[in-house]
Amino acid sequence: METFTGYRDEILLGADGGDYYIQLYTDYSPAISDAVLQRPTLINRVMKAWDMWLPAVEAQVEGMGANFIITAQMQAALLGVMTEFEEVGDTALGQLNVGFKLGLDLENLVGRTTVDLQEDIESNPMEVQQTPWKELKASFR
């Protein structure tokens, strides 16, 4: 967890849109937990993906992300977990996963560096969500 805390505190907090991703984690943690409870074997795939991606996150936190190349196995593990969350998670979690796959071009990560991925994360247009004035007013009533 220390590595992911470092990523949150050292990378995301200083990044454009970083607050958005931190808030997503807070907002979607219950839905992720519910999905794992729906399919208990999913936790094994989450842990396998976690183990594969941990060195990449570590490299990014240590400023060595330009030297860390994303492998086909890492991409497959990430996409596999995301697909399962789409299958067993609630609609909002499924839509979020689909949006990330498209918005971050996750189907084409192989051979890219973690710096490349971080640049995509920071410039991802998903963060900017237009809210009609009527909906905004209604949320404060």
Residues 64-98 pLDDT 10s: 999 999 999 999 999 999 999 999 999 999 999 99
- Print the domain residue range for 108: 2-139
H-only helix segments in 66-132: 72-88, 91-103, 114-122
Given a contact cutoff of 8 angstroms between Cβ atoms, the answer to whether 64 and 6 are in contact is no
What is this structure's pTM? 0.83
Average pLDDT, the chain: 88
Into how many domains does the chain fold? 1
Given a contact cutoff of 8 angstroms between Cβ atoms, the answer to whether 93 and 28 are in contact is yes
Report the number of secondary-structure helices (H) and strands (E) in the chain. Answer: 7, 0
Query: Which residues, in sequence order, are CB contacts of 11 under 8 Å at separation 6+?
Result: 18, 60, 61, 118
**Binning pLDDT at 50, 70 and 90, where does residue 141 land?**
low
